[in-house]
Chains A and B, each alone.
Chain A
Amino acid sequence: MRVAPPHIRKTRTTADVMGDVCIALIPTILAAVWFFRIDALLRLTLAAVCSLVAGRLTGKRDGPDLAALVSGLILCLSCPSQTPLWLLVGGCFFAVCVVRDGFGGIGQNLFNPAMAARGLMLAIFPSQLTGFGLPGALSSATPLVGDASLFDLVVGRIGGSMGETSALIIAIGLAWLLIRRVIRWHIPLLSLAGFSLLTLLAGEPLLPALFSGGLLFGAVFVFTDYTTKPITLAGEIAFALAVGVLTAVLRFYGPYPEGVCFAVLAMNLVAPLFEFLTIPKGVSQ
């Protein structure tokens, strides 16, 4: 294999790709620290350290495991600012060591590690994970209700999980991922389209629904996870529309205020089927 062509390669490596995702998360991280101060700083640092340690334990041995870091940061950003530290630590180790590496390591896992950990945490400790903090204020019951104006929703002056408050900040991360060609536009756009469609059908106001909750964060950072989405273009389109619709269904009719986490986990299970059904058949004779 050493002598086999091609003899030149593109310079970008897996570490570069993961590095780009980390860079795309920086605006969201800074916003979280700005809005939630020491609470966010402490939890993000803890999640970063834990996921890197977890990655070293079960995953990549040479150099920092940036993929694990991405999982840890996404998990942390999708949790409220008052999440107990022990729960976060457990979540990080569960995401990396069990959900990712327990199922064959990077590129092999069935579920998105961050969302699987988030889902389990929410299912076992619902009370610890539903106390959302308003920035600079006391906890409110949920970020998805209340009288926040649309402007507040866009710039992030709303309660919610740490990374899910500001649509503008998330859009900066999206722009970086698109410019660096880490992801394509199909999944973010089409998942929002699927969500919007069902929101309108359900008769809910569209814009507040779009800009609240974890939908935008999910559309940019979670639905686009390479490993747990179909790889074919047709499969991606079907996956994106379905995950958008399911998010809306769960949000409006499900038991939890939020829909992204369980919608992703359900669609992760269907992604291999979508991929299988959309394998290109080649040009017909």
Chain B
Amino acid sequence: MRLFHGGIKLTEGNELKERAAEEHIHTLAASTLYLPLFVQKRSLCACVAAGDRVDIGTRVAEDPSGFLPPVHSGVSGTVRAIDTFHPCAEGGEVPTVVIDNDGQGRACLLPPLAETAAPDAIVERMYEAGLVGMGGAGYPTHRKYRDLTAEWLLINACECEPYLAADASLSRHFLTLIVEGVHRMATAARVAPAHIRLCTESAQTAAALKQSGLSVVTLTKRYPQGSERQLVEAVLDKRLPDGVLPTQAGVVVSNVGTAAAMGDAARGLALTHRIVTVSGYVKQPRNLLVPIGTPFADIAAAVQPKTADRRVRYIAGGPMTGRRLTTLKAGLPKTCGGLTLLPSHSFSATPCIRCGACVRACPSSLLPFLIEQAVLQGEKERYRPLRTTACLSCGCCSFVCPAKRPLAARITAAKRELKEGIQ
């Protein structure tokens, strides 16, 4: 069986994930969109002002540094205001473009991309269409594919988070779009068609993907299979050294959602919508096709919690790596493929008993308990010898810890500290 080091077997949420994957995709019309001008710790400039008329696909904001691609409106309507402080899914309150939907659905398209478009033209289109990695990390796609010559292209449809099924439903319902996007990406990365692999954990999704005629790899169900380093390890049997990106090893990994967005982009549609699974502590999970920027409150309204009497927590994304939302006013980011409802629950930490569960679960072969100890004792000089920057923030260590220690949170904080120290 194809496998990677470490990881955990998740049972919670698998049944709901299967149910969600079989669901049809419902469209949700948002009356108002909230597009933050602060994305991935970068400030964007608004390209519109209050009172402007916008269409679907109108450029709303762009990154002056050119690192992040522009943001486009997902509805036609009017810019109500540029709100100075609006809650953001990434945390905090940031300047946000607020757009009212007039319901007319006017769209402005980019010219379709020629069948024979060269790699540079495709990368340029990735930027224009606002593509970022849809799997969660949100790395700008045009940056990844710029001047890239790779040997392998892995399309990631694993969706390792419990409950979520956005990749699975996309694979089952939008296959032609995905295939078009995959071919464009292969051209951009100069990968031979024989070196394209579509990767999934689910047999049903694999069956759907096989109709594309491309090679499909079915992987073991194990978390975090959807992490790109673990995907490379499992599919190509190649373990990446710390700090080496897959592209540096000749492998380019993109999420199936990014491939579908690439397919849309080739036809002239900017990235304005995405599929979101709403699941968890709900009566029936849903897959929704929603405009990016739709407030989470609208998305949450599409499902009913299992019981009304119990307080629920709302998680943007899946339960392993998602962020807990303190308010549902924030707009949906491009990278968020799920809204998970979980019953209120608190974990109280007890002393570490050195059972070693975190060590065995870590996909990066770290010693999470030792890094946490270094964090708690303020011994920052130990971070680097303990390879803190190799942490994926996958959450396996915290998940398995019998003492319920917040290992992943502390290690992630230490990693952030190291990375900010470098810059």
Contact = CB atoms under 8 A, between A and B. Distances in A.
Interface of A: 1-10, 12-14, 16-17, 67, 105-108, 226-227, 231-232, 279-285
A226 B354 contact: yes
B324 interface: yes
A231 B162 CA distance: 29
18 contacts: A4-B412, A5-B319, A5-B323, A5-B324, A5-B395, A8-B13, A12-B402, A13-B403, A14-B353, A14-B402, A17-B355, A107-B351, A107-B352, A226-B353, A279-B386, A282-B364, A283-B239, A283-B240
Judged by DSSP, the binding face of B is: loop
A8 B401 CA distance: 11
A-B CB proximity, top 3 nearest:
A4-B409, A6-B395, A280-B365
Interface string B324-367: 10100000000000001010001100111111100100001111
Contacts of A106: 351, 353
Q: For the side of the interface on B, what is the size category?
A: 35 or more
Contacts of B322: 5, 7
Contacts of B367: 231-232, 279-280
B395 A282 contact: no
B244 interface: yes
B373 to A, nearest CB: 10
Nearest to A285: B241
A7 B313 contact: yes
Contacts of A5: 315, 319-324, 393, 395, 398, 408-409
B353 A67 contact: yes
Contacts of A3: 323-324, 326
A74 to B, nearest CB: 15
Given A10-B400, A231-B367, A282-B242, 10 more contacts: A4-B412, A5-B409, A6-B319, A6-B395, A7-B322, A7-B324, A8-B12, A8-B319, A10-B401, A67-B353
Nearest to A227: B354
A226 B355 contact: yes
B139 interface: no
Contacts of A284: 241
Contacts of B13: 8
B406 interface: yes
A17 B320 contact: no
Interface string B69-103: 00000000000000000000000000000000000
